[in-house]
């Protein structure tokens, strides 16, 4: 004879601690195995051959970003404001922009945004010969 009634069957609660541990382990795994590009290598895709400049045979001037918000154009160094004034005065509305290895991301973005805000379309060109220097590979 049974004096105690059996307990009713109830579903077991899912324990969250092991699930959270697994999620964090997966997060750490993917963070460590993912290859991230350095901040200095920013991919900017522009079409250099679009519209008027290159198709009509007009030479597009090349501006090089140096360290400390200095720029080089026609073998002469300018500050950003001076260069914008010179380019606007010469009637130039499109330039190819390259950067030296010493230039920071701040210099790069400030130059592109300032040129764009003043009606000069900047088109960035990556220096293919310097790319291996950034990635740490032998040239």
Residue 107 neighbours by CB under 8 Å, 6+ apart: 65, 66, 67, 68, 69, 99
Cα–Cα dist 45/92, whole Å = 21
Q: Give the pLDDT score at 137.
A: 45
Task: Report the pLDDT value the prediction gives residue 10, as an integer from 0 to 100.
Answer: 78
More confident residue, 128 or 70: 70
Is the pLDDT score of 59 beyond 90? Answer: no
User: How far apart are the C-alpha atoms of 139 and 44, rounded to whole Å?
Assistant: 23
pLDDT for residue 72 is more than 80: yes
Q: For residue range 83-106, what is the model confidence (pLDDT) as tens digits?
A: 888 888 888 888 888 888 888 888
Residue 138, pLDDT above cutoff 50: no
- Residue 124: is its pLDDT beyond 50? yes
pLDDT band at 39 (very low <50, low <70, confident <90, very high): low
Is pLDDT of 75 > 90?
no
Pairing state of beta strands 70-73 and 62-65?
A: antiparallel
pLDDT score at 24: 95
| φ and ψ of 97, to 5 deg | -115, 130
């Amino acid at each position: 004879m049974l004096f105690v009634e059996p307990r009713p069957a109830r579903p077991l609660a899912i324990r969250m601690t092991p699930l959270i541990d697994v999620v964090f382990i997966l997060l750490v795994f993917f963070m460590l195995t993912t290859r991230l590009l350095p901040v200095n290598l920013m991919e900017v895709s522009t079409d250099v051959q679009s519209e008027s400049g290159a198709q009509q045979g007009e030479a597009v001037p090349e501006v090089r970003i140096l360290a400390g918000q200095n720029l080089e154009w026609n073998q002469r160094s300018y500050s950003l404001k001076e260069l914008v004034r010179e380019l606007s005065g010469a009637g130039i509305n499109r330039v190819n922009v390259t950067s030296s290895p010493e230039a920071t991301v701040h210099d790069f973005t400030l130059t592109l945004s300032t040129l764009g805000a003043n009606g000069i379309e900047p088109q960035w060109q990556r220096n293919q010969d310097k790319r291996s220097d950034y990635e740490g590979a032998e040239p």
